[in-house]
Amino acid sequence: MTTVHEPTTGTAARLSVWPASTTEPPHGDLAVGGVPLAEVADRFGTPVYVLDEAEVRDRCRTYRDAFPGAEVLYAAKAFLCRAMAHWVDEEGLGLDVCSAGELELAVTTGFPPERIVLHGNAKSPRDLDTALRLGVGRVVIDSPAEIARLAAAVGPDGHQKVMVRVVPGISAGGHEKIRTGTDDQKFGLSITDGHAAHAIARILGQPQLELTGLHCHLGSQITTVKPYLVAVRRLVGLMARLHEQHGLVLPELDLGGGHGIAYRPGEEALDLTALARRVRAELADACATAGLPVPRLIIEPGRAVAGPAGIAVYRVLSVKRTGHTVFVAVDGGMSDNPRPALYGVRYAPRLIGRRSTAAPARATVVGRHCEAGDVLAADADLPADVRPGDLLAVPVAGAYHLSMACGYNLVGRPPVVAVRDGLARLLVRRESLEDIRRRDVGL
C-alpha cells in the first residue's frame, strides 16, 4: 500500500503487483491464496476473475490502521458482490454506493444501512426512494435540484443526514476522464463560483435535512499526497466562511478516495502512511488557524482495496504476426475490461500453467471483440513460444473490471472466484447465453 520502486529483475519484481499470497513453485503453477490459477481456469473456465479474500481483508485493515478515528468507506463502484460486502462489513468499513442496485444488494446481504453513503451526480427517484426506505446513513447532495427533491421525499416529519459534494478546483488523477476535482466536469458544486455556499444555505432552510459535512473527490489514480493537502485547506476555508455566515460547525469532512495503485512492476502507488500522517496534520493546522474544531475525517478507497486483490485469467485463442507486431488473442477483452480502451491503462500479463524456457518477446495481447481498440496489453513481455491453448493471467484486475463489464458481442460476463487457504469458491457465476436470451423478449 506504499510507494515502492521495485527491482527490475527477479521473482520479487515479477510478483510485486500480485497479491501477497502469490507463490511461484519451482516446478509448479503460479498460485494465489494457495490455489493454482490453472486449476481455477480448468474448473471454472475462462475468462475468469480470481479474487484473493485475504488480500481484500488485509487492505481493509491497513486503511483502518492508517486512519485511526476516521471513517473508512469502501467505494462499491470498484467492485461489489454479496461476499465483498460481507468482507468489508466484517473488517469494520462502511460503504459508499452510487445506485439503488448497489444499495439494495448490500443491505439485503446484511450490511448495516446506517454505515452506507449514497453518491451520484444524477440520482434517480428510485435511488432516493430506496435510500430513504432502507435508512441509508447519508446522502451526498450533488446538485441544487436534488435538495428540493430529497426534502420532498423525506417529508415534513422525516429526517435525513446529508453532505454536500464540493469542487475544490484541483486537477489530479491518472487520466483526464477520471479527474473530478475541477470545475469543468459533471460532479459537485463549485467553491469558486459560490454554488456550493448557495446550496448549503438552501439545505439549512430545510429542517428535515441535517447537514453533517462537506465531501469532495479529486479523481482516480492519484499517486502524490499534495492534492489532498490542498483540498483540505480549501474545504476548511469554506467551513470557516460557513461558520462566519451561519454559525455552522460541521462535524465531518470527506476527502473521497482515488488512491493510486501500481498496475505494473516499478510503477508508483500512493504512500498511504504519508497520506494519513500529512492529511491529519494539515487538517489540524487548518482548523486551528480557522478557530474550528477538527471534524471527523472520512475517506473512500475502492480501487486500492479491490484492485490488487484480483487477477483475470484468459486462454489464448490465436497467435499471429502482422508486420512487426505479434498479436496474442485471448477469449475475453473489452467486454470484461474496458479500461485500456477508455483510459489507456497498461497491464503486465504473464504466462501461467506451464514452464517456458523461451526468451521473452514483445507482444500485443488483444481481445476477441470486433474493435481495433480491443487491446488488453500493448507491450507485454511473453515467452516467444506462446501458443493457442496457453493461459495468461493479468494481475491488479479486481477493480473496475466486472463492475464495468458489458454485453458487447453477447459473449457473457465472466464469473468471480474467491480463493483463500487453498480453497476456491464461486462468488458470481458466469453470465450464460440463456441469461442473455431471457432478457430479449421482443419477438
Asked if residue 210 has pLDDT above 50, the reply is yes
Cell numbers at residue 321, please? 504476426
Sketch the domain layout of the chain as residue ranges: 10-51+308-439, 67-301
Q: Give 124-149 pLDDT, tens digit per residue.
A: 999 999 999 999 999 999 999 999 99
- Taking 70 as the threshold, does the pLDDT of residue 107 lie above it? yes
Instruction: Tell me the per-residue pLDDT of 314-360, one tens digit each, with 9 for 90 and over.
Output: 999 999 998 889 999 999 999 999 988 888 888 999 999 999 999 99
Q: Quick check: 175 pLDDT over 70?
A: no
Active-site choice (81, 216, 370, 406) = 370
What is the CA angle 137-142-144, rounded to 5?
115
Provide the pLDDT confidence category of residue 171 given band limits of 50, 70 and 90. low
Q: Which residue has the cell 464540493?
A: 166
pLDDT tens readout for residues 365-421 = 999 999 988 999 998 999 999 999 999 999 999 999 989 999 999 999 999 999 999
Residue 310 and residue 348: Cα distance in Å, rounded? 13
So what's the pLDDT on residue 344?
82
- Convert the pLDDT of each residue in 34-84 to its tens digit: 999 999 999 999 999 999 999 999 999 999 999 999 999 999 999 999 999
Residue 121: predicted pLDDT: 87
Q: What is the chain's alpha carbon radius of gyration, rounded to the nearest angstrom? A: 23
Q: How far apart are CA 151 and CA 410, in angstroms?
A: 42
CB within 8 A of 380, min separation 6: which ones?
Answer: 328, 347, 348, 349, 362, 363, 364, 365
The reported pLDDT for the residue numbered 185 is 54
Cis upstream peptide for 47 (omega within 30°): yes
pLDDT band, very low/low/confident/very high, at 5 (cuts 50, 70, 90):
very low
Q: The CATH number of 10-51+308-439 is which of 3.20.20.70, 2.40.37.10, 3.30.1490.20, 3.40.50.150? A: 2.40.37.10
Looking at 3.50.50.100, 3.20.20.10, 3.30.465.10, 3.40.1080.10, the CATH number of the domain 67-301 comes to 3.20.20.10
Residue 12 has pLDDT above 90, yes or no: no
Average pLDDT value over all residues in the chain: 91
**287 in catalytic set:** no
CATH fold match for the domains 10-51+308-439 and 67-301: no
Q: Which long-range contacts (CB under 8 A, 24 or more apart) does 93-97 make?
A: 93/60, 93/63, 93/64, 94/137, 96/300, 96/302
Name the DSSP letter for residue 415.
P
**400-404 contacts, C-beta under 8 A, 24 or more apart:** 400/77, 400/78, 400/79, 400/303, 400/307, 400/339, 401/49, 401/79, 401/310, 401/312, 401/336, 401/337, 401/339, 402/49, 402/79, 402/336, 402/428, 403/77, 403/78, 403/79, 403/80, 404/337, 404/338, 404/339
